[in-house]
Copies of this chain bind each other. A is one copy, B any other.
Amino acid sequence: MLNDIRKDYLLDRWVVIATHRGRRPTDFTRKKTTTSRRDSSCPFCPGNERKTPPAVLVYLKGDGGIIKKADTNGTRHQGWLIRCVPNLYSAFSPPERGESFKAGKAVGHHEVLVESPIHNEHPGVARISQLIHVINGYSDRLRVLLKKPYVKYVSIFRNHGLDAGASLSHTHSQIIATPIIPPTPHNELEACKKFHKESGNCILCEVIQKERNSPRFIWENESFIAFAPWAAVHPFEFWIIPKEHQGTLLELQHKTVEDLANALKTCLGGLNSLLNDPPYNFGFHMAPNKETKKLYHWHLEVYPKLTIWAGFEKSTGIYINVVPPEDSAQNMRQTIANLPQD
């Protein structure tokens, strides 16, 4: 029996969907690798603020609402809700004094956003009020970093579990600002531009309409839809995308931030429940700048880390996915329907 071969909506990226293997979620749930115990040495837990560089942003509880601050002059703010600090092992670093850009050098920023003072408050189990802080934190840092003259793109992503590359288990995301538009968003944007030129429409707006009524549909609320993409590269991969066209997180409104918090909690909670807290990576895909926000439709891609990319994937750029997205969507729908309500 022949497998399907499918192309991504945007990228020249192909995936073989192994339609006849009949792999079930339980085939992927044997190993549990996420460490969940709080460790007194955790550099992200309250009380250990000195183990990280001074924060570039903290949210503090004020009388009239949230107060946003940065650590300055050696202060380390206590009693924070979220905390964003430069990565100690940073891949990209700000230019040195007087330099604006240096050819061949990884100029930029690399930050860690500590998502909660509670070690283990990961998005799938978090309070909605806390997830709202996290999303607002992403937007605040995005706004600041996009204004730097040497920054061309800001990537916001999350590694969950040791097998997905998270060396620390305290709930956190990372933010990297790069001096180039990276290949993946560049190629995605080019595909969007081409479609827009030919049809006058946003290709991802059309994808939403199609997937909403497809067997790959997972979940929706007023502002967001979640589905397994047609050419999912990873078993149980899913995307979360705003129904209304938006280029970046900066276009979120008060109400849509709360809807996104609900989408994150529901979908990552579903994944958590379906596969016993699997390792995963997620990344926001966004328009690089104001000029392109009409062309590109931001979304979040969630990649459970259940299989290994090996010699074939790494030398050809074709991927093999042993779980059809139609099957993973069905499993996710059922699991989400049975999640306990808050």
Write the residues of chain A forming the contact surface with B, with a CB cutoff of 8 angstroms. 1-6, 12-14, 16, 18, 21, 89, 91-93, 95-96, 102, 104-107, 153, 155, 157-159, 163-166, 174, 176, 178-180, 182-187, 281-285, 301, 303, 308-312, 314-318, 320
Which residues of chain B are near A166, meaning CB under 8 Å?
A: 310
Q: Which of B102, B187, B301, B315 contacts A184 (CB 8 A)?
A: B315
Q: A281-B314, A283-B314, A314-B303 are in contact. Are A106 and B157 (CB under 8 A)?
A: no
Which residues of chain B are near A12, meaning CB under 8 Å?
A: 183, 186
Which residues of chain B are near A285, meaning CB under 8 Å?
A: 315
Which residues of chain B are near A92, meaning CB under 8 Å?
A: 3, 16
B308 touches A164 (CB 8 A): yes
- Inter-chain CA distance A310–B280, complex, in Å, is 9
Question: Please, could you name 18 A-B residue pairs with CB atoms under 8 Å apart, sorted by A?
Answer: A2-B96, A2-B105, A3-B92, A3-B93, A12-B186, A155-B315, A157-B312, A158-B311, A159-B311, A164-B311, A174-B312, A178-B318, A184-B315, A184-B316, A184-B317, A281-B310, A283-B316, A301-B315
B183 touches A14 (CB 8 A): yes
- Inter-chain CA distance A164–B284, complex, in Å, is 27
Given A3-B93, A165-B309, 6 extra CB contacts under 8 A: A2-B95, A3-B91, A14-B183, A91-B312, A164-B308, A185-B316
